[in-house]
Amino acid sequence: MRGTQVTAVTNTTKNVTGGMQGDMGEDMRGDMRQGITGDMAEGIGTTDGTTGQTTGGTTGQTTDGATRQTGPRPHRRYWRAGFLRGGIELRHLVRNPKEMSGHLVNVVVALLLAGYISDKVPGTHVPMAHLTLSGFAAYLLFQIGLVNLPQILVTEREEGALLRLRATPGGIPAYLVAKSLMVVAMALGTLVILLGAAALLVDGPLPHGPGGWLTLLWVSALGLLAVVPLGAAIGAVLPNPREALALIMLPAMGLLITSGAMFPLTQLPLVVQKIASVFPLKWMAQGLRSALLPDAARAAEPAGSWELPTVALILTAWAALGFLLAIPLLRRAARRESGSRLTERHRKAGLGGARTA
């Protein structure tokens, strides 16, 4: 049973990550160039007649105009442009059958596994299908932040998006806001569809009471904070989309198998449990189990309890580490990007494709 689950999830993940590498389309890039570049241009336009003041030769007036320009208004424009871009990307994501089918395949596989499994969690009367669905929900959040996001960033960098944004005032901050919005929407939508469909079709688990819903909310939010900055940091250093898939997938699948997301962690050797406890997926899955499963399921946990304070501590530590890595790496990637580098990468990709053919 364990081998069947892992094989199914492996195939599904390949389909999804392959789908995420499709380009956004010329119409999407056109929309964003018109909407965002224009909005960003407003942010550096002459404010309160600064140009006229400069022509008049009054230094005090020029300095005052520059101060007004560097105040909070440009930052509000960056946020506005980021939300605008994020909305455009979400609309195109919903209208893209290839990418939408990739996410829905994840849900379908989870439902098929839940319908196929009929065992109980060892030492409890909790259906194993409920544990699998809880772990699958955690893995989908993990996959969106740490597998799909790096591939999106690398693909768009290879298309020249980062270079265009670098030439746009406030383009990089707006881009990061847009990507954060898209990731949160993807994660929330996938989680709602999975849990809703499971509850309707296979008697899947749902939180019991307000406390369970609150736990589901904060574990999901903190889990995304733990993996999204890491995904951004990884995307900033990966060489190209094809190598990104190979470099990310093996560690991700290893963590899926060893983190207790699909079957009880207590069935694995103690050394594997210790290694898994270092990474965020184990704690994301454990936190979601505490929200979705009854208290009787605690008997299958290594510590015999949900350890929610430890869940919060580990995920917060990973979030802090991710931000510390992501910010300088993204700045470095944007600073190093140039037209010559982009042309050279395209030339190498063309030569590699010709040799393969």
Report percent pLDDT > 70 for the chain: 73
Biggest CA pair distance of the chain: 83
Please state the rounded mean pLDDT for residues 155-167: 75
Residue 49 confidence (pLDDT): 38
Q: Residue 208 above 70 pLDDT?
A: yes
Residue 277 confidence (pLDDT): 92
pLDDT: which is higher, 203 or 171: 203
Please state the rounded mean pLDDT for residues 2-11: 48
CA 331 remoteness from chain centre? 19
Q: Residue 167 above 90 pLDDT?
A: no
Please state the rounded mean pLDDT for residues 278-300: 93
Q: Residue 179 above 90 pLDDT?
A: no
SS3 label, residue 127: strand
Distance CA 232, CA 331 (A): 11
What are the residues facing 120 on neighbouring strands?
127
Q: With 0-12 CB in 10 A as exposed, 13-18 as middle and 19+ as buried, what is 210? A: exposed
Least confident of 65-69, 177-181, 293-297: 65-69
Q: How confident is the model at residue 241 (pLDDT cuts 50, 70, 90)?
A: low
DSSP assignment of 162-192 equals: HHHHHTSTTHHHHHHHHHHHHHHHHHHHHHH
Residue 60 confidence (pLDDT): 41
Contact 144, 183 (CB under 8 A): yes
Only one residue has tokens 């802090």, namely: 320
Query: Computed from CA positions of residues 269, 270, 272, 276, in that sequence, does the dihedral angle turn out positive or negative?
Result: positive
Distance CA 328, CA 334 (A): 10
SS3 label, residue 338: coil
Question: Encoding tokens for residue 334?
Answer: 């944007």
Residue type at 90 in one-letter notation: L
Average pLDDT for the chain:
77
Residue 95 confidence (pLDDT): 87
DSSP assignment of 213-229 equals: HHHHHHHHHHHHHHHHH
pLDDT in tens, 94-145: 888 887 887 788 899 999 988 888 888 888 889 999 999 999 999 999 999 9
pLDDT in tens, 7-62: 544 454 444 444 444 444 444 444 544 444 444 444 433 334 343 343 344 444 44
Q: What is the DSSP letter of 163?
A: H
Query: In this structure, how many other beta carbons lie within 10 angstroms of the beta carbon of residue 218?
Result: 16
- Number of helices (H), then strands (E), in the chain: 17, 0
Q: Residue 221 above 90 pLDDT?
A: yes
Q: Residue 254 above 80 pLDDT?
A: yes
